[in-house]
Amino acid sequence: MHRLFRGNHTARAVAASHFPHTAPIRDHRISSFIPLIEVAKPSLASHASHLRAVHETLVRQGVLQIQLGFDDDESLYLRDLIYNLHQNHGHGLPISHSAEQGWFWDIRPSTSSFQSNAHQARSETMLCFDWHTDCSYETDPPRFFALQVLQTDRYGGGTLSVLNVDRVLTFLSQFTQKRLSRCEYKITVPPEFVKKGGERHVVGNLLAASGGEIHGGSLRFRADITVPLTQDASDALAELKDILKNGKTQAETIHLKSETLPRGSIIMMDNRRWLHSRNEVKDPERHLRRVRWDASQFGACSS
């Protein structure tokens, strides 16, 4: 059976699982914000109680860690889980990454063999990747994404960091929140992610109302591909960038090192409620696999 570890469970409780060789090391702060579900067998991907636990945790918390108790280098459990979330809880199916790449994308360094359109994606380098959400350049960005750890960074690099959007919003001025909500930003599609329609950019807002009571706002953001179209939009974007670098935001950041996300871990996130980043990769064998799903139109622009 799967087990859902809620916020009051400590790293010691997690370590007492059936699979100590893959047990993640989680401190109290990580356990408070990121629930953990242990999965003993692949067939749980179709069990109603397991699907309900995953779905409800993603809706409530917007972030979830799954720890597999079995080898699954083909990501079959993750594939089946998302398909069954689609069948039973209304999640949209995964989106393709580009015209050449389907549901899954391998995040690992490469200097010569690229997965899509003969262009090297940022995820195929060993460079750091600053705060962003996935697919900000899509008219219908995916609500969720997941990363499965196939090989950790053995040399201490490639740390995944996550940051709650609602916490970021508390540091932004009302002026900036209003301007980020207007359709005053051009977001370029990276060449490796151009799809069959050939769309090269979208114009839209970066911030939208959530439309629910669970959280306050939805954000799409990737600084290196975003161009403000007005001076007010430029000022608002500059404030957002500054906030993401200041000490208050850093204090809100949760860092998930290799010992917290060992081989067999899957981190699942609401792509509009949580930002993520990584520091420099030090291990050329580091390997994660990504899937994105449940695409829907980003919230309407404000006037």
Going residue by residue through the chain, which has 303 residues, state the pLDDT in tens, using 9 for 90 and above.
Answer: 443 333 333 222 333 334 445 699 999 999 999 999 999 999 999 999 999 999 999 999 999 999 999 999 999 999 999 999 999 999 999 998 765 667 999 999 987 777 666 678 788 899 999 999 999 999 999 999 999 999 999 999 999 999 999 999 999 999 999 999 999 999 999 887 887 677 899 999 999 987 655 567 999 999 999 999 999 999 999 999 999 999 999 999 999 999 999 999 999 999 999 999 999 999 999 999 999 999 999 999 988
d(CA 175, CA 178): 5
* Angle, helices 48-61/76-89, rounded to nearest 10 degrees: 80
Neighbouring CB atoms inside 10 A of 229's CB total 13
d(CA 299, CA 67): 33
Residue 158 DSSP SS3: coil
Q: Considering only the top CATH level, what class is 28-295?
A: alpha beta
pLDDT number for residue 11 = 29
What tokens does 27 get?
Answer: 């401190």
Contact 144, 290 (CB under 8 A): no
Residue ranges of E strands in 23-140: 36-39, 63-68, 104-107, 129-132
pLDDT number for residue 81 = 98
Contact 169, 249 (CB under 8 A): no
d(CA 151, CA 173): 41
d(CA 214, CA 300): 18
What tokens does 47 get?
Answer: 């069990």
Contact 32, 10 (CB under 8 A): no
Q: Would you kindly state where each structural domain of the chain is located, as residue ranges?
A: 28-295
Q: Count CA atoms within 13 Å of residue 45 on its CB side.
A: 17
What tokens does 277 get?
Answer: 């980043």
Those residues whose C-beta lies under 8 Å from the C-beta of residue 111, and which sit 6 or more positions away, are: none
pLDDT number for residue 100 = 61
pLDDT number for residue 116 = 66
